[in-house]
Structure 1
Amino acid sequence: MRPESTPAADADVDLPAPHYRDVNHRRSRADARTAGVFLAIVLIGLSFATVAAETMTGISEDTQNGIERVPRALLLVILVLVQVTYLAVLLVTPVVLLFRRRFNLIARGAAALLLGPLLFRLLSLIPGVRASGDALSGISDRLPDAVTVEWPSTGAVAACAALAAATAQGLPRPWRRAVWSFLATLGLLRVLTATSAPLDVVLAIGAGGLVGSAMVLLLGRRASVLTAAGVSAALRQSGLATSAVRRDPDAPPGRYEASAPTGPIDVLVLDEHDWRTARLDQTYRWLRWRDVGDDALAPTPSQAVAVEAMSGLLAASRGVHVPAVRAVTQAPHGESILAVDRIEGRPLADLPPDELTDDVLRRAWQELALLRTARIAHRHLDLGRVLVDPEGRIWITGLDRSLPGAGDRILAWDVAELLAGTSARVGPERAVAAARGVVPDEDLVAALPRLVPSALSAPTRVALKDAPSGAPELVDEVCRVTGVEEPQLEKVERFKPRTLLTAAALGLAIYFLAPQLTDLPSTITALGGVNWAWVPVIVLASVATYVGAALGLAGGTPGRIPVPEAAGVALASSFVATFAPPGVGQVGLNIRYLQKRGLPTPVAVSASAAKETAVLTVHLLLLVAFAVLAGSTGAISGELSRLPPAGVIGAFVGIALVLVGAAVALPRVRRVVRERVLPSLRASADAMREVFSDPVKIVTLFLGVALLPLGYALCLYFSVRALGQDTSFVAVVLVSLTAGTVAAAAPTPGGIGAVEAVLLASLTGLGIASAPALAAVLLYRLATFWLPIAPGAWAFRSMTARGVL
């Protein structure tokens, strides 16, 4: 039962208010993580049901053999208990929810029971997906006839998974664990009672869970959120009288302001929902980074708040200016609450340059030195958490990630963070001089290898990136004043997101290409039969792509751009995009070239954006046009006949739209769209508006960007003809345009792996045998990707030496 209303309010006027308020559409990134996990399970289930049939059969056999030692009577009791529990859950749960008036949860559960098996059924219709494998004999032979029916069915498992994912969020943690344990038991029973190896049991769990988690992500969850009145009541029960409790709408969730007898206070309320989101962020950092000190994950919200309070009390006992801890308590529903003094000060990140004096910097380092003597690692010491009050005292705030009893390696990260933050504001010389006045040189030297911008906090990283002097200048300055050689920066990244995407793309490519490579002798024989008369036109088609890129750049740029020189830039980009770091590709090279020709940076960026926008527009138009042409002429009728039924395709499109809508519903996704995607689109539109004012530029631009994909298409078509294969020109062009889309999206340089897989699958789908199809793909990629690298390197070196680049 909830507490009675208490006279405290969300504003300065004391009014009766409940301690909790219901929120019906609460979302978090943790929900997106759950959906992602189930999506991964779906992919694993698809692999089990398609290419890993022997593996799943072996698992089923091993499981049934392992259960042979269980007494028959005990086995029957377990089966009967699970079946009774299953029926009880289905019958009793709606009654309980109805009694508690949770009508929305009943409706959500009913929808999940229908949609989970439906998605599972649609996935089962994918060509190659099988429901069962080899026949099994084992546990089923030991059961009486009454229970020899395979139970539960995979459809029932999918329904239960959907129900659990959609409704378990409304249950307490022990009940949630019980629900998921019961679902795991159902999956195990499906494996045990089946007379043939169930290849789709993992797929059923993944499909059902994906439906349920997508519903939570799309519709949100119902939650009881502590109000300001509830915060005030909980603090009063801990012995701290408060008034005027209110939540700042601009502050992060769970942050409140209040008045206490000791003065204004800040209140942190950490509930299960906010803790799961914070834990997700911290888990991501723990998985991606190594040895950055962010690997201590408190298992519960109450322990996280206790650690923060302990850090504050310990730091204060050593003389560090930190907010005094006034109360630590819990609310009736388990929310953990921490109250500390509110520091009326300004962050060093917001101080004007004339107020960020050497004395202020020195006193900031003194506070960090005292914090280090207490062996407390702050672990997020950006300048926004270092305040200066009206009396000039420096305060360290934001101990929510702090770690008491930290080792020297973890403490060194705070030194690196403060060095980088102050260097971004006042320059390396003043920042290092202020640090040396307080911190021993050996501590500065220990922090040197940790000046890795990507591992610093986001505010510090952004400030350092925008500063005139970056991390290399700061490292040089520390080395100069301490007299040490420049150290090797620590490799703190376990992996990069781009690395994962690259590995996934190569994995898919190997999956599709490996079966064809088994027939490598036939492919070599096919390559030996190349009609050399086609080779010159293949090379000419490849050269046409560079001419198209040059015309596109010339047409999208104000003023006169020499086409031969622009073609040289395009050729150089074939080398740069292959071996240079990510982000230094054709676009970057075009901008650099235009800057060298005297164009201002905004104009160079605008011209490059105009060209890339035109490339994308023309590519999509050609893709649609040739798709319509191929459909009307029957060029790809064989491929179309192998597609799933229209209903299945429509269902998958609908599911994809639902997932996209669920993603857009997340505030973080909307913020990315608003802050990054839309400005880029507006910039591209503005760039195109300038181009459209000149008819000659328009013709040159669109002629060039049309020649670019068509040149690749002709190169592929001539490669197919060189292998003696006679196929539809329209179909090959459509295949080439599709491969171009994959190349643009693939994270590997030039779409290595992904493009080959798409081309090979498409050409074999057009009726070309696998050996000549693979030979044609190799010939095409040789002409368009591998051979241009050497002349591209020569062009890059030559144009750089002449000052063109």
Structure 2
Amino acid sequence: MTLTPLDGLPGPAPDPAAPPAAPTHARAVRLAVSLLPLLLIAAWAVLDWRSLYDGVARLAAADPGWLLVAGVFTCLGWVAAACVRQGAVPERLPPGLLLASQVAAGAANHVLPASIGAHAVTLRFLQGQGIPLARGTASLALYSVVKPVAKTVVLLVFLVAFPGMLHFGDLMPDSWTLLLMAGGAAVALAATGVLMTVVPALRRPLTGLLRTALTDARVLHTRPSRYLPLWLGAAATPLLQGSVIAAVGYALGLPLSWAQVIFALLIASTAVGAVPAPGGIGPVDAAMVFTMSAFGAPVGLATATVIGYRVMTVWIPLIPGALVLSALVQRKVL
């Protein structure tokens, strides 16, 4: 016999130990967010199908051994990014999830310009690990400062180590270009100062962010387990990227040395790396072709090398990166 509550009388009280049911709309939003990376990849493939087809066709006729080497260097790039992210926060992060977050961040980075996607994924991951928003944002600021400084140090090392082989004078911008770059940096600094002075609402959060960033940077640089992966990982990043380009170039028959390819990447990314493009695609590619041709590579072969490099570092990792991103969203890591 089944007992039912009488009309107008309350039913049995809910079990307080039972977990609350997740709202249906929250599940739908999470499902949509997890599928969004795959939809963006499909849209990008439709819009840029010719470049993808040309790159895959060129790589199909290349030396598979060198392409395997390029794939290994591509994977090591994720490890270097994870090292830099770990070195930018005092707390110890779970290594496996940290590496997975950087694989996912790499996919997001190629969809949104100026590293916005990668920073958003990393910031969400840090918050999920219990790091407050202010300190997570400060770690992103430290990451953004360390990477160009480390790349400049690597560039100077190459200039000292290879003074005769690298024709640096042929690649130097003219005085007007240098003046324009200096003027742009001065305008950016002046605009930031004016905004902080004129808009009081921005002054407090920016000051707090700067104070937090300086405090964390001071703490991190007293711990070798943090500043070593921070700086070594940042210095290794351009070397790994250049090694991917060199390996792809060797697979296609590029007549340049490893040092010349690395130097070409350093010059190209330094000259136009500030242009906001998804993953640096576009401006850096054109600058790479120009720089490698200045070292003596045929323009067609330099173009094929850059296209193959983009396929190896963007298109091939994009699908697994998007799948990892979706999985992390589903597991509520992000």
In the superposition, the TM-score normalised over structure 1's length comes to: 0.31
Give yes or no for contact 1:743–1:750 (8 Å, CA) kept in 2: no
In the alignment, what sits opposite 1:722?
251
Assess, with a 3 A threshold, how the Cα gap between structure 1 residues 623 and 583 changes in structure 2: closer, same or farther: closer
Supply the distance in 2 between the matched residues of 1:602 and 1:643 (Cα, whole angstroms). Answer: 40
Task: Give, as a single letter, the amino acid of the residue that structure 2 aligns with 1:671.
Answer: V
In the alignment, what sits opposite 2:64?
532
Q: CA deviation at 1:580?
A: 5.5
Supply the distance in 2 between the matched residues of 1:656 and 1:799 (Cα, whole angstroms). Answer: 40
In the alignment, what sits opposite 1:671?
194
Supply the distance in 2 between the matched residues of 1:609 and 1:651 (Cα, whole angstroms). Answer: 30
Q: CA deviation at 1:642?
A: 7.4
Deviations 1:356-395 (A, max 9, x none): xxxxxxxxxxxxxxxxxxxxxxxxxxxxxxxxxxxxxxxx
Supply the distance in 1 between the matched residues of 2:243 and 2:115 (Cα, whole angstroms). Answer: 29
Alignment of 1:430-445 (within 5 A): none
Residues 1:636 and 2:166 aligned together: yes
Higher Cα Rg, which structure: 1
Residues 1:545 and 2:77 aligned together: yes
Supply the distance in 2 between the matched residues of 1:567 and 1:690 (Cα, whole angstroms). Answer: 23
Give yes or no for contact 2:112–2:278 (8 Å, CA) kept in 1: no
Return 5+ residue gaps in structure 2 as ranges: 1-50
- Aligned match for 1:585, one of 109, 117, 131: 117
Residues 1:555 and 2:87 aligned together: yes
Supply the distance in 1 between the matched residues of 2:229 and 2:69 (Cα, whole angstroms). Answer: 24
Task: Give, as a single letter, the amino acid of the residue that structure 2 aligns with 1:569.
Answer: S
Deviations 1:625-664 (A, max 9, x none): 223434x1x2232x635768xxxx4466457657876x58
Q: CA deviation at 1:703?
A: 2.4
Deviations 1:70-124 (A, max 9, x none): xxxxxxxxxxxxxxxxxxxxxxxxxxxxxxxxxxxxxxxxxxxxxxxxxxxxxxx
Assess, with a 3 A threshold, how the Cα gap between structure 1 residues 557 and 653 changes in structure 2: closer, same or farther: closer
In the alignment, what sits opposite 2:25?
none
Give yes or no for contact 1:609–1:687 (8 Å, CA) kept in 2: no
Assess, with a 3 A threshold, how the Cα gap between structure 1 residues 687 and 777 changes in structure 2: closer, same or farther: same
In the alignment, what sits opposite 2:320?
791
Aligned residues: 277
Supply the distance in 2 between the matched residues of 1:560 and 1:655 (Cα, whole angstroms). Answer: 42
Give yes or no for contact 1:618–1:705 (8 Å, CA) kept in 2: yes
Assess, with a 3 A threshold, how the Cα gap between structure 1 residues 789 and 701 changes in structure 2: closer, same or farther: same
Assess, with a 3 A threshold, how the Cα gap between structure 1 residues 569 and 628 changes in structure 2: closer, same or farther: same
Q: CA deviation at 1:802?
A: 1.3
Q: CA deviation at 1:711?
A: 1.1
Give yes or no for contact 1:744–1:751 (8 Å, CA) kept in 2: yes
In the alignment, what sits opposite 2:301?
772
Deviations 1:580-610 (A, max 9, x none): 6988511121111111112222222233333
Supply the distance in 2 between the matched residues of 1:530 and 1:767 (Cα, whole angstroms). Answer: 21
Give yes or no for contact 1:613–1:684 (8 Å, CA) kept in 2: no
Supply the distance in 2 between the matched residues of 1:658 and 1:578 (Cα, whole angstroms). Answer: 29
Supply the distance in 2 between the matched residues of 1:797 and 1:659 (Cα, whole angstroms). Answer: 38
Alignment of 1:310-709 (within 5 A): 529-579=61-111, 584-630=116-162, 632=163, 634-637=164-167, 640-641=169-170, 649-650=174-175, 653=178, 663=187, 670-672=193-195, 679=207, 683-709=212-238
Supply the distance in 2 between the matched residues of 1:591 and 1:524 (Cα, whole angstroms). Answer: 33
Alignment of 1:37-436 (within 5 A): none
Give yes or no for contact 2:112–2:277 (8 Å, CA) kept in 1: no
Deviations 1:108-163 (A, max 9, x none): xxxxxxxxxxxxxxxxxxxxxxxxxxxxxxxxxxxxxxxxxxxxxxxxxxxxxxxx
Task: Give, as a single letter, the amino acid of the residue that structure 1 aligns with 2:166.
Answer: I
Supply the distance in 2 between the matched residues of 1:665 and 1:543 (Cα, whole angstroms). Answer: 36
Assess, with a 3 A threshold, how the Cα gap between structure 1 residues 566 and 672 changes in structure 2: closer, same or farther: same
Supply the distance in 2 between the matched residues of 1:629 and 1:682 (Cα, whole angstroms). Answer: 38
Deviations 1:387-424 (A, max 9, x none): xxxxxxxxxxxxxxxxxxxxxxxxxxxxxxxxxxxxxx
Supply the distance in 2 between the matched residues of 1:656 and 1:549 (Cα, whole angstroms). Answer: 28
In the alignment, what sits opposite 2:310?
781
Supply the distance in 1 between the matched residues of 2:121 and 2:268 (Cα, whole angstroms). Answer: 24
Residues 1:763 and 2:322 aligned together: no
Assess, with a 3 A threshold, how the Cα gap between structure 1 residues 682 and 767 changes in structure 2: closer, same or farther: farther
What secondary structure is seen at the aligned counterpart in 2 of 1:579?
A: coil
Give yes or no for contact 1:554–1:701 (8 Å, CA) kept in 2: yes
Give yes or no for contact 1:527–1:772 (8 Å, CA) kept in 2: no
Assess, with a 3 A threshold, how the Cα gap between structure 1 residues 616 and 656 changes in structure 2: closer, same or farther: closer
Give yes or no for contact 1:550–1:567 (8 Å, CA) kept in 2: yes
Supply the distance in 2 between the matched residues of 1:697 and 1:779 (Cα, whole angstroms). Answer: 35
Assess, with a 3 A threshold, how the Cα gap between structure 1 residues 582 and 555 changes in structure 2: closer, same or farther: closer
Task: Give, as a single letter, the amino acid of the residue that structure 2 aligns with 1:736.
Answer: L
Task: Give, as a single letter, the amino acid of the residue that structure 2 aligns with 1:726.
Answer: P
Give yes or no for contact 1:742–1:751 (8 Å, CA) kept in 2: no
Assess, with a 3 A threshold, how the Cα gap between structure 1 residues 635 and 692 changes in structure 2: closer, same or farther: same
Q: What fraction of aligned residue pairs are identical, expressed as a percent?
A: 25
CA RMSD of aligned residues (A): 3.4
Deviations 1:156-202 (A, max 9, x none): xxxxxxxxxxxxxxxxxxxxxxxxxxxxxxxxxxxxxxxxxxxxxxx
Task: Give, as a single letter, the amino acid of the residue that structure 2 aligns with 1:715.
Answer: V
What secondary structure is seen at the aligned counterpart in 1 of 2:110?
A: helix
Task: Give, as a single letter, the amino acid of the residue that structure 2 aligns with 1:551.
Answer: C
Supply the distance in 1 between the matched residues of 2:77 and 2:309 (Cα, whole angstroms). Answer: 13
Give yes or no for contact 2:113–2:279 (8 Å, CA) kept in 1: no
Assess, with a 3 A threshold, how the Cα gap between structure 1 residues 664 and 721 changes in structure 2: closer, same or farther: closer
Give yes or no for contact 2:89–2:139 (8 Å, CA) kept in 1: yes
Assess, with a 3 A threshold, how the Cα gap between structure 1 residues 729 and 588 changes in structure 2: closer, same or farther: same
Q: CA deviation at 1:618?
A: 0.9
Return 5+ residue gaps in structure 1 as ranges: 1-516
Q: CA deviation at 1:799?
A: 1.0
Q: CA deviation at 1:701?
A: 1.8
Assess, with a 3 A threshold, how the Cα gap between structure 1 residues 542 and 650 changes in structure 2: closer, same or farther: same
Supply the distance in 2 between the matched residues of 1:621 and 1:734 (Cα, whole angstroms). Answer: 12
Q: CA deviation at 1:722?
A: 1.2
Q: CA deviation at 1:723?
A: 1.3
1 or 2, which has the higher helix percentage? 2
Task: Give, as a single letter, the amino acid of the residue that structure 1 aligns with 2:301.
Answer: P
Deviations 1:669-711 (A, max 9, x none): 6404766898566654333112112121111222222222221
Deviations 1:421-470 (A, max 9, x none): xxxxxxxxxxxxxxxxxxxxxxxxxxxxxxxxxxxxxxxxxxxxxxxxxx
Give yes or no for contact 2:113–2:276 (8 Å, CA) kept in 1: no
Deviates more, 1:759-768 or 1:557-566: 557-566
Task: Give, as a single letter, the amino acid of the residue that structure 2 aligns with 1:798.
Answer: A
What secondary structure is seen at the aligned counterpart in 2 of 1:566?
A: helix
Give yes or no for contact 1:526–1:772 (8 Å, CA) kept in 2: no
Task: Give, as a single letter, the amino acid of the residue that structure 2 aligns with 1:769.
Answer: P
Alignment of 1:19-30 (within 5 A): none
Q: CA deviation at 1:566?
A: 1.1
Deviations 1:218-276 (A, max 9, x none): xxxxxxxxxxxxxxxxxxxxxxxxxxxxxxxxxxxxxxxxxxxxxxxxxxxxxxxxxxx
Supply the distance in 1 between the matched residues of 2:312 and 2:189 (Cα, whole angstroms). Answer: 45
1 or 2, which has the higher strand percentage? 1
Q: CA deviation at 1:712?
A: 0.4
In the alignment, what sits opposite 2:48?
none
In the alignment, what sits opposite 1:710?
239
